[in-house]
Amino acid sequence: MSGFSFGFAGDDIEDDGQQQQPTSQLNNAAPQTAPAATTASAFPVQGKPLLPPTHHDIDHMLSRLPSKIAYSLLDVELEEGKTIQIPRRELWDVRVQLMAEDDGSNISETEPGLGEHDVKTGIYEGGFKSWESSVDLVKVLASENAPTILNRDPCVLMELGCGTALPSLALFQWAMNERKSGEKQPLTIVLADYNPSVLYLVTLPNFLLAWALSQRESTPALAEAFSLEDEIELLPGVVEAFKEFLTSNHITLSFLSGGWSPEFIDLLYSSGILSNPTGSVQTLVIGAETIYSPFALESFAATLLMILERERKERPSGHASSIIGAKKMYFGVGGSLDDFVNRMRGLGASVEPLREESEGVRRGVVRCVLS
């Protein structure tokens, strides 16, 4: 398949890295070990080898974080005048880390996702940026009373094609707030992105940031961590405090990379990731901007259906559903929300529209459940 690129006007809500990297950070960034290179495409393309499904150990991922993480806050307006602030690692800070790891080589070649293009099929993986449909998902989750459910029942959350993971971060923040009082129900969060670099460089750092900003007043290890504006310094004890918080609050974070496939499902259910919780479990699968081409749509729909069927089999007393956000049409590549809805209904699922955005690029959010 030949490569091509296209732009989504007004579509990328990420600051596109126009800020200059501070010279001091460029000089002081400690060398890290980069994720292993692969001959497979950095972006799932039909007819090309796909990255194999891989489970990434969170302790190993945490050990590879830099000494500081720069961030910004995204304000998402919810209903009734409420707002949630979601932290995201700055793109320029990711570039700083990659330059330190790659000895100053061309970052656009090392990680094309940090360049100027929105999408270039077969080359650019869009997980480093935040897309508008992920914000739509945050709004829908808030309106669906997700914060209350998180502390009422054992929950499993899976975000496929997570990238910066805005919807999962919102749920994580709500779960932390709910756990300040009452019983703490088990919560398993599975973050899956095709590109392992996305998980290492933005997904996990964003979760650590969300925890730190939420717990900074009550966690001694964070007392000096925010001495610099819009940065967190990973002082001794910060990472351990993060891990202890997850354990004591019965929250499990798991990270998977690789292509959507039956092998991905096998890894998800055979590796022990989803062994807990059990019983009357609420399982929610979410995804934003995952159906941008017919190839991606087909593999995503098949994977989503396999997860819903497996959840029904593994946890018959629970309930599994999915909430998916996407553009009405991906011009130039052929994917569309209507095609996804038709495909899921053709596979036997029930699909219900939840939200539609007509301003700017037309988008929608739908719920899918097994009939």
Position 78 in a domain = no
pLDDT tens, position by position, for the chain (371 residues)? Answer: 333 222 223 344 544 333 444 433 333 333 333 344 445 554 566 667 889 999 999 999 999 999 999 999 999 999 888 999 999 999 999 999 988 887 644 444 445 455 544 333 333 345 677 778 899 999 999 999 887 888 788 999 999 999 999 999 999 999 998 887 767 889 999 999 999 999 999 999 999 999 999 999 999 999 999 999 999 999 999 999 999 999 999 999 999 999 999 999 999 998 888 876 777 899 999 999 888 888 889 999 999 999 999 999 989 999 999 999 998 887 656 678 999 999 999 999 999 999 998 877 889 999 999 98
Residue 251's pLDDT is what?
94
Position 137 in a domain = yes
Residue 126's pLDDT is what?
56
In this structure, are strands 363-370 and 319-327 parallel, antiparallel, or unpaired?
antiparallel
Position 104 in a domain = no
Query: What is the number of structural domains in the chain?
Result: 1
Position 35 in a domain = no
Residue 123's pLDDT is what?
34
Position 115 in a domain = no
**Calpha distance 97→150 (Å, rounded):** 34
H runs (alpha helix) in 55-126: 58-63, 91-101, 107-110
Position 205 in a domain = no
User: Chain-centre distance of CA 247, in angstroms?
Assistant: 21
Q: For 201, which DSSP code? A: I
Which residue is associated with the tokens 């919560």? 187
**Calpha distance 53→199 (Å, rounded):** 13
What is the CATH number for 239? 3.40.50.150
Residue 329's pLDDT is what?
81
Range of the domain at 287: 49-63+126-200+215-224+235-370
Position 230 in a domain = no
**Calpha distance 141→51 (Å, rounded):** 31
Residue 31's pLDDT is what?
35
pTM metric for this prediction? 0.84
Position 188 in a domain = yes
**Calpha distance 73→258 (Å, rounded):** 29
